[in-house]
Amino acid sequence: MPDFWKQLSSDAQFKSVVPELQFTLQLGALSLNNPSLVTALRSQYKPASLRDLTKLDTTTLAQMITSQKVSVPDGFPGATPAEKASNYADAVVSLLNGAFPTDYVAHGLAAATDPVNKGVAIFLSNSSDFDFGSTHVDSYIQKNSAAAFQNVPPAQVETVKSRIRAIQRVFRVHPEYSVIDSLLSSGLDSAHKIASIPHSTFVQQYSAKLGGTDQAEMIYRGAQQVSGMVSHLFLRIKQATNDVNPRVIG
């Protein structure tokens, strides 16, 4: 598929329409092939990219679906049209959240009352290219500190940096803001801390805060996987450091 778009972009007759064609296909996939929702989203939000739609949450989108009489695809459960609209909206927002999790974490942080979380939200607002999933925090801060921490109170900057690192560690276990917030508020700021708790204890103690037993189980497995990978990498680095090959003399 990338080769198809590359070839089409190199054609003088089609290259000007390629971005719009790609975006239309993306909107189709996001809406689960629902032209009426695509039309409504374009009309109301005038997005230039899918990322422009990350301002949406389930409630806002469900209200738009209902008020603009957007059809809901067959198969969505619900005893009433409002329930079906809400379930459809939740599916669409889940797709956006999966594609742009850092943006949704930023929304959650901005709505928080904790001043350090608000400081992180300011950092993210100043840093549109930062991604909790792939950006190396310390390298990014070293290169972009002045712009990234603009409007963050100077007395908070170091604390905000520490919170950014903690959020990223937990993000790698599970990227949903409500889960990140629950784990951090419980003092669980790394995969290692989560995995160090006995499985049954973790599930029993935290399932209510994390959205149920199944969610807690999934988070625990994710923490074990991340912790195991980090431990394995550490051992490999340690082994490479300790392995000194003696020079052959003779």
CA angle, residues 45, 46, 50, in degrees to nearest 5: 85
What local confidence, expressed as pLDDT, does residue 228 receive?
Answer: 74
With contact defined as beta carbons under 8 Å apart, do 168 and 131 qualify?
A: no
Query: pLDDT tens-digit profile of 217-226?
Result: 999 999 999 9
Q: What is the value of pTM for the model shown? A: 0.82
With contact defined as beta carbons under 8 Å apart, do 152 and 141 qualify?
A: no
What local confidence, expressed as pLDDT, does residue 21 receive?
Answer: 82
Query: pLDDT tens-digit profile of 72-90?
Result: 999 999 999 999 999 999 9
Does position 164 have pLDDT exceeding 60, yes or no?
yes
Query: pLDDT tens-digit profile of 225-243?
Result: 998 775 545 545 555 555 5
Q: CA dist 161 to 19, 82, 225, Å?
A: 37, 42, 25
What local confidence, expressed as pLDDT, does residue 250 receive?
Answer: 46
